[in-house]
């Protein structure tokens, strides 16, 4: 790790100002950032620690949505009775991230700002059509994830919370990479209050995407059989040591069917 300065921010405004001034990076749970720094892949000159900012933490129900603060740890989501009552799929997703230590440190805000191609949270954000609330405004889920580790956030823009609309039904099925246990493929299926179907896929490409053939199939019939019968093209999907594009394309409907069957 290279030497760096550490600042503790007291408020979102303070954090944004410190980041702008130092050209540094926000430090949330450190579960992605610190690892990259140890490997000398990231070398920020300054870190601005968000952990002391109370307004970034917590989970609340607001009308037809569940609002989760950016600094809420994965373990807090997993243990939340409110989330369990409103959107149990998020509890299952959070429980399936990494291991206990990672869940106790890692945050929702960090996960979506980092935009790891194999991360779980982006599937939920996109699958539920959530709104990303930031220090500068709001971003719709569609269009938030722009590329490999790339989002719509500006350099000094901080995620403050995510607003997840409460769906009629939703489920997440994750196929774990045997080594990293990140998502080799993760599929989030949701049927909104108005019956609209969204299906988001993570792990299969550089950015999570909505899967049109599955959305069409499930809009017609929200059943596991319909999901399994859908055809997903391998074109453009990632290939690596653990999965070819064809294998990923095959897994997407299989996982969608499992997600639907679990409801």
Partner 1 sequence: MGASDTNVMGKSVRRKEDYRFLTGAGQYTDDVNPDRHTHAYFLRSPHAHARIRGIDTSRAKAAPGVVAVCTSADLEGVNGLPCGWLITGTDGKPMNEPPHPVLAKGKVRHVGDPVAMVVAETPNQAKDASELIDVDYEVLPAVVNCVDALKRGAPQIHDEAPGNKCYTWALGDKAAVDAAFAKAAHVSKLDIVNNRLIPNAIEPRAAVASYDRAADGYTLYVASQNPHVERLLMTAFVLGLPEHKVRVIAPDVGGGFGSKIYLYAEETAMVWASKRVGRPIKWTAERSESFVSDAHGRDHVTRAELAMDKDGRFLAMRVHTTANMGAYLSTFASCIPTILYATLLAGQYTTPAIYCEVTAAFTNTVPVDAYRGAGRPEATYVVERLVHQAGVDMKLPQDEIRRRNFIRSFPHQTPVALTYDTGGYDACLDEAMRLADVKGFAARKAEAAKRGKLRGIGYSSYIEACGLAPSNIAGALGARAGLFEAGEVRVHPTGSVTVFTGSHSHGQGHETTFAQVVASRLGIPVENVDVVHGDTGRVPFGMGTYGSRSLAVGGTAIVKALDKIVAKGRKIAAHLLEAAESDIEFADGKFTVSGTDRSKTFGEVALTAYVPHNYPLDKLEPGLNETAFYDPTNFTFPAGTHVCEVEVDPDTGVVEVVAFSACDDFGNIVNPMIVEGQVHGGLTQGLGQALLENCVYDAESGQLLSGTYMDYAMPRADDVPSFNVGTKVTPCTHNPLGAKGCGEAGAIGAPAAMMNAVHDALAAVGVTYIDMPASPHRVWRAIQAARA
Ligand X SMILES: Cc1cc2nc3c(=O)[nH]c(=O)nc-3n(C[C@H](O)[C@H](O)[C@H](O)COP(=O)(O)OP(=O)(O)OC[C@H]3O[C@@H](n4cnc5c(N)ncnc54)[C@H](O)[C@@H]3O)c2cc1C
Q: Which residues bind ligand X (CB under 6 A)?
A: 25-33, 35, 50, 70, 97-98, 102, 105-107, 109-111, 113-114, 116, 119-121, 153, 158-159, 181-182
Of the two residues 51 and 177, which places its CB atom closer to partner 1 in the complex? Answer: 177
The three-state secondary structure class of 22 is helix
Report the residue number, 68 or 118, with the smaller CB distance to partner 1: 118
Please choose which of ligand X, partner 1, none residue 1 contacts, taking the beta carbon within 5 to 8 angstroms, the exact cut-off set by kind: partner 1
Instruction: Tell the smallest beta-carbon distance from residue 185 to ligand X (Å).
Output: 12
CB of 236 to partner 1, least distance (A): 18
Chosen from ligand X, partner 1, none, partner binding at 202 (C-beta under 5 to 8 Å by type) = none
The CB-of-179 to ligand X minimum distance in angstroms stands at: 11
Residue 196 CB, nearest distance to ligand X (Å)?
A: 25
Helix, strand or coil, per DSSP, at residue 106: coil
Q: Is residue 256 within 8 Å of residue 218, measured between CB atoms?
A: yes
- Measure the CA–CA gap between 52 and 35, rounded to whole angstroms: 21
Rounded distance between C-alpha atoms, residue 108 and residue 242, angstroms: 26
Where does this chain bind partner 1 (CB under 8 A)?
Answer: 1-3, 39, 175, 177-180, 182, 241-244, 247, 250-251, 254
C-alpha span between 48 and 25 (Å, rounded): 6
| Helical packing angle, 245-261 and 212-220, nearest 10° | 30
Q: How far is the CB of 160 from ligand X (least distance, A)?
A: 7
Instruction: Using the minimum distance from each CB to ligand X, give the nearer residue, 197 or 259.
Output: 259
State the Cα–Cα distance between residues 61 and 163, nearest whole angstrom. 9
> In sequence order, what are the beta bridge partners of 173?
187
Give the neighbor-by-neighbor strand order of the sheet with 209-210: 169-176, 183-191, 197-202, 209-210
Q: Which of the listed partners (ligand X, partner 1, none) does 39 bind, with a CB threshold of 5 to 8 Å by partner kind?
A: partner 1
Q: Which does 94 bind (CB under 5 to 8 A by kind): ligand X, partner 1, none?
A: none
Residue with tokens 């996960």: 111
Pick one of ligand X, partner 1, none as the site partner of residue 158 (Cβ within 5 to 8 A by kind).
ligand X
81 binds, among partner 1, ligand X, none (CB under 5 to 8 A by kind): none
Report in angstroms how near the CB of residue 194 gets to ligand X at its nearest: 29
Which residues lie below 8 Å from residue 136, measured CB to CB, with a gap of 6+? 154, 157
H or E segment to which residue 185 belongs = strand 183-191
């Amino acid at each position: 790790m290279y030497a760096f300065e550490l600042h503790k921010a007291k408020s979102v405004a303070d954090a944004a100002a410190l980041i702008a001034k130092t050209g540094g990076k926000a430090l949330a749970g450190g579960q992605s950032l610190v690892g990259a720094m140890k490997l000398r892949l990231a070398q920020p000159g300054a870190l601005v620690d968000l952990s002391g900012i109370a307004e970034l933490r917590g989970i609340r129900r607001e009308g037809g949505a569940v609002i989760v603060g950016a600094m809420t740890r994965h373990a807090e989501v997993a243990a939340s009775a409110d989330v369990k009552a409103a959107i149990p799929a998020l509890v299952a997703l959070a429980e399936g991230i990494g291991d206990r230590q990672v869940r106790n440190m890692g945050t929702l805000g960090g996960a979506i700002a980092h935009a790891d191609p194999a991360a779980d949270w982006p599937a939920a954000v996109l699958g539920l059509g959530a709104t990303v609330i930031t220090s500068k405004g709001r971003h719709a889920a569609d269009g938030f994830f722009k590329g490999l580790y790339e989002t719509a956030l500006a350099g000094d823009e901080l995620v403050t919370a995510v607003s997840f609309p409460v769906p009629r039904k939703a489920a997440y099925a994750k196929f774990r990479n045997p080594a990293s246990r990140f998502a080799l493929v993760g599929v989030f299926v949701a049927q909104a209050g108005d019956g609209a179907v969204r299906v988001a896929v993570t792990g299969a490409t550089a950015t999570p995407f909505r899967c049109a053939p599955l959305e069409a199939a499930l809009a017609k019939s929200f059943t596991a059989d319909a999901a399994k019968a859908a055809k997903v093209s391998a074109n453009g999907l990632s290939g690596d040591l653990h999965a070819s594009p064809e294998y990923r394309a095959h897994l997407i409907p299989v996982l969608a069917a499992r997600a639907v069957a679990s409801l």
